[in-house]
Amino acid sequence: MLYEMDVRGESLEGTLAALPAALDAYVVGLLEGIESCRDDLDELIERHVEHWSLSRMAVIDRNVLRLAAYELGYRPEVSAATVITEAVELAKQYSTDESGRFVNGVLGALTAELRGDAT
């Protein structure tokens, strides 16, 4: 959903309205949370990447990082290790050959800032 919204430049409401079936409430909550603090998440991510801007990142990487940053910052019930593992796997499966390492490195720095540890 994040990828689709990013690529098409559509709002969350428009994207959700176009779906043939309703999404799980947990997923909708994540999407609403990410959308509501997207500027803050983007700023946070950009502080932890060297010589990169969000616009230069692969679309999948950018949105995986947004999702993970949101969970790290706003969903303390989800363990940092789970967030990082799942984000790295998504990046490895759906993005570039280097994406897994890139996402892992960025999330290590984000985790240290947001949760005070690296895992």
User: Structure tokens of 112?
Assistant: 């240290």
C-alpha to C-alpha distances, 57 to 1, 82, 111, nearest whole angstrom: 18, 23, 20
Q: What is the rounded CA–CA span in Å between residue 61 and residue 103? A: 7
Structural domain boundaries of the chain? 2-115
User: What pLDDT was estimated at residue 108?
Assistant: 95
Structure tokens at 102: 């890139």
- For residue range 20-56, list pLDDT tens digits in order: 999 999 999 999 999 999 999 999 999 999 888 899 9
Class of domain 2-115: mainly alpha
pLDDT tens, position by position, 69-89? 999 999 999 999 999 999 999
